[in-house]
């Protein structure tokens, strides 16, 4: 497998391994120190055996090609990759703040607004490059050294010039068109953004039911209730995203301009999300 820049290949012994940062369906992610330069990085290790069981080399190749081209302050950097006989390794920016799943939820409305606004920026950037993420969820949003959002895990991402029919993503976040296996577009990310914002504001996912079938029914019928504790503007934001018909669903461009996102306290937050390096 080629690395992004044809740079000299790495091998596992080039790194000192620290703590396990997390694990997903196919990957374990370790904190590592590059011995030569002393850089602190995250190394995502995936067994080739597991890639074949849960995913495919084609899916992985797509993840790497897509992710390595994305440069945005709210998108986790993929620096390089290499492989040995058993594993494939991704060299990633280390996000010391961990993932949003670890947050105690619900979070305050200003905090939720900041996290959602930065996620919108990351997704809008991906969409501007013709890429749908398709696996937005709390576990795939990390917090960087500056405390700002880093969108991660492009394992299900796709160039969405055409309408697609592949079933992908996580049950709680599945858009109705995916749940009913209809063709879908990048509008699935806007739905997932609504689920994510709901989880942050309310502390639970909107459609979760005891069984898979019932959850799917709630998704397709768009049955959910927003507690009174959520402000009217935030409720309006959620209900504009959680629209069954993708054509009526708020676009990311409109989400960026939504009054809930643009509330005055965000002037401080947008400053927090910019740095001279950007
Ligand atoms: P999934 O089950 O979503 O397919 P995966 O196998 O693709 O997961 P990731 O989502 O990339 O794996 O990573 C799993 C977990 O590891 C994340 O939820 C996060 O907690 C942690 N993690 C991943 N990358 C980093 C990083 N760069 N810095 C810090 N923690 C990370
Ligand atoms: Mg993940």
Q: Which of 71, 93, 115 is the last residue of a domain?
A: 93
DSSP 259: T
pLDDT number for residue 74: 98
* Helix/strand/coil percentages in the chain, nearest 5: 35, 20, 45
pLDDT number for residue 3: 53
Q: Which of 234, 226, 235, 230 is nearest to 261 (CA)?
A: 234
**Exposure of 267 by Cβ count < 10 A (0-12 exposed, 13-18 middle, 19+ buried)?**
exposed
pLDDT number for residue 249: 98
pLDDT number for residue 111: 97
Same domain, 112 and 44: no
Taking the centre of ligand 2 as the mean of its atom positions, its distance from the CA of residue 232, in whole angstroms, is: 32
In the three-class reduction of DSSP (H, G, I as helix; E, B as strand; rest coil), residue 9 is classed as coil
User: Which long-range contacts does 63-69 make (Cβ < 8 Å, 24+ apart)?
Assistant: 63/154, 63/155, 63/157, 64/1, 64/4, 64/90, 66/131, 66/154, 66/157, 66/158, 66/159, 67/154, 67/157, 68/4, 69/129
Query: Per the structure, how many domains does the chain have?
Result: 2
Residue 270 counted as domain residue? no
- Ligand 1 pocket, CB under 6 A: 21-27, 29, 42, 44, 76, 92-95, 98-99, 139-140, 142, 152-153, 155
pLDDT along the chain (278 residues), means of 10: 58 97 90 97 93 78 84 97 93 97 97 98 94 93 97 82 59 93 92 98 97 95 97 98 97 96 66 46
pLDDT number for residue 222: 98
Same domain, 106 and 76: no
pLDDT number for residue 45: 95
Q: Quote the CA–CA distance of 229 and 213 in Å, as a whole number.
A: 29
In the three-class reduction of DSSP (H, G, I as helix; E, B as strand; rest coil), residue 75 is classed as strand
pLDDT number for residue 163: 55
Same domain, 13 and 148: no
Same domain, 66 and 167: no
pLDDT number for residue 79: 95
Residue 140 counted as domain residue? yes
pLDDT number for residue 40: 98
């Amino acid at each position: 497998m080629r690395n992004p820049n044809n740079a000299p290949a790495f091998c596992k012994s080039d790194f000192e391994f620290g703590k396990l940062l997390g694990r997903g369906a196919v990957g374990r992610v370790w904190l590592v120190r590059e011995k030569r330069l002393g850089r602190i990085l995250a190394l995502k290790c995936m067994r080739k055996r597991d890639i074949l069981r849960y995913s495919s080399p084609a899916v992985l190749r797509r993840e790497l090609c897509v992710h390595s081209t994305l440069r945005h302050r709210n998108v986790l950097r993929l620096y390089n990759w290499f492989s040995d006989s058993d594993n494939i390794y991704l060299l990633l920016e280390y996000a010391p703040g961990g993932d949003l799943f670890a947050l105690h939820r619900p979070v305050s409305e200003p905090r939720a607004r900041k996290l959602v606004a930065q996620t919108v920026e990351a997704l809008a950037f991906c969409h501007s490059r013709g890429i749908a993420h398709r696996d937005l969820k709390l576990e795939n949003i990390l917090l960087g050294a500056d405390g700002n959002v880093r969108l991660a895990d492009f394992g299900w991402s796709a160039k969405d010039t055409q309408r697609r029919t592949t079933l992908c993503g996580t049950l709680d976040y599945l858009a109705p068109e995916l749940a009913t296996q209809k063709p879908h577009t990048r509008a699935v990310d806007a739905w997932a953004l609504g689920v994510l914002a709901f989880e942050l504001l309310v502390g639970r996912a909107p459609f979760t039911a005891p069984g898979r079938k019932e959850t799917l029914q709630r998704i397709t019928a768009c049955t959910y209730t927003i507690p009174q504790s959520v402000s009217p503007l935030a409720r309006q934001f959620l209900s504009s995203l959680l629209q069954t018909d993708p054509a009526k669903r708020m676009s990311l461009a409109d989400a960026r301009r939504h009054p809930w996102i643009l509330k005055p306290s965000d002037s401080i937050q947008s400053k927090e999300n910019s740095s001279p390096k950007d």
